[in-house]
Amino acid sequence: DAALDMFGEKTTARWKNPSFARIMNSPDAAGDMAGSCGDTIKIFLKITESKINEASFYTSGCGASIVSGDMACELSVNKTVDQASEISGEDILTALGGLPEDKTHCAHLASSALQEALGNWIGQK
């Protein structure tokens, strides 16, 4: 199966059944980012007293952007805004156990969308 060859077992399972893929109603913060491929990832956050209680994402992009958005959310939940501002594309890649070379930019797109959401939240306060 092509997805298995590309992603390995764990990430294929995440791609088939992402935990955080949904549009959130009335998020406290949201941010989206478009990659040079033209696809976008949007991240939604619920934040109470500078702690991220909930995260979700939506993407128009490829399978790698789905697993990257999902991992960005997973890494953000229960973190403070400060801690989540440190989550990089490399962190997402590491947590996913890597992505094919031509798909690593999707992890960076997910972290940019997360940083955009956090920046918007900080800017609103």
Residues forming contacts to ligand FES in the complex (CB under 6 A) are 35-37, 39, 61-62, 64-65, 105-106, 109
Nearer to ligand FES by Cβ, of 31 and 35: the residue is 35
Sheet holding 51-59, edge to edge: 29-34, 40-48, 51-59
The CB-of-50 to ligand FES minimum distance in angstroms stands at: 29
Q: Mark residue 111 as left, alpha or beta (left: phi above 0; alpha: psi -120 to 50; beta: remaining).
A: alpha
The CB-of-91 to ligand FES minimum distance in angstroms stands at: 16
- Taking the C-alpha atoms of 39, 87, 102 and 55 in order, what is their torsion angle to the nearest 10 degrees? -40
Nearer to ligand FES by Cβ, of 56 and 111: the residue is 111
Nearer to ligand FES by Cβ, of 84 and 110: the residue is 110
Nearer to ligand FES by Cβ, of 47 and 57: the residue is 57
The CB-of-7 to ligand FES minimum distance in angstroms stands at: 12
